[in-house]
């Protein structure tokens, strides 16, 4: 189970490191140009909010791997995963409010479930 959790943590870390970095590095207009209609949600929030979300995603990605890998503050791993659960809840709320359809919600639910299992796994199944 430990290996499965590591794989899950690694997958989530890669996804959110890339997604977060893209949000931090690019402006709202650049994000819309990169993602097309998939990124129209950025019009619903401020540029600072987009940067904040990106920063939190990058920090969570680091928090999923580095503390457990180094043995320094490993209890941060399930907290980072729980932070991603909250992020996905916020994303789903935004997409529902905008009426963006099913596609973004499906991805949000999948990522939420993965982050929730990581949270549970690192709190209870194989605590760090």
Residue at 49 is within a domain: no
Residue at 37 is within a domain: no
What is the reported pLDDT for 73?
97
Of 119, 118, 95, 87, which is closest to residue 39 (Cα–Cα)?
Answer: 95
Residue at 91 is within a domain: yes
Residue at 31 is within a domain: no
CB burial of residue 97 (10 Å; 0-12, 13-18, 19+): exposed
How many domains does one find in the chain?
1
DSSP string, 2-29: HHHHHHHHHHHHHHHHHHHHHHHHS-HH
Please tell me the distance from the alpha carbon of residue 39 to that of residue 48, in angstroms, as a whole number.
Answer: 16
Instruction: Give this prediction's pTM.
Output: 0.93
Please tell me the distance from the alpha carbon of residue 55 to that of residue 33, in angstroms, as a whole number.
Answer: 20
Residue at 46 is within a domain: no
What is the reported pLDDT for 36?
84
Neighbours of 125 (CB within 10 A): 13
Residue at 13 is within a domain: yes
What is the reported pLDDT for 90?
97
Identify the domain containing residue 83 by its residue range.
Answer: 2-25+55-125
Residue at 40 is within a domain: no
Reported as a single tens digit per residue, the pLDDT across 54-76 is: 999 999 999 999 999 999 999 99
Reported as a single tens digit per residue, the pLDDT across 75-107 is: 999 999 999 999 999 999 999 999 998 999 999
């Amino acid at each position: 189970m430990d290996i499965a959790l590591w794989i899950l943590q690694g997958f989530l870390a890669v996804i959110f490191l890339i997604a977060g970095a893209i949000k931090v590095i690019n402006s709202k207009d650049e994000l819309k140009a990169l993602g097309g209609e998939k990124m129209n949600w950025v019009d619903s929030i401020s540029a600072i909010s987009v940067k904040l979300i990106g920063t939190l995603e990058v920090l969570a990605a680091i928090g999923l791997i580095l503390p457990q890998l180094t043995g320094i503050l490993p209890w941060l791993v399930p907290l980072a995963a729980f932070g991603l659960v909250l992020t996905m809840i916020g994303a789903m709320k935004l997409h529902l409010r905008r009426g963006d359809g099913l596609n973004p919600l499906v991805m949000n639910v999948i990522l939420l479930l993965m982050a929730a299992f990581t949270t549970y796994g690192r709190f209870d199944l194989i605590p760090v």
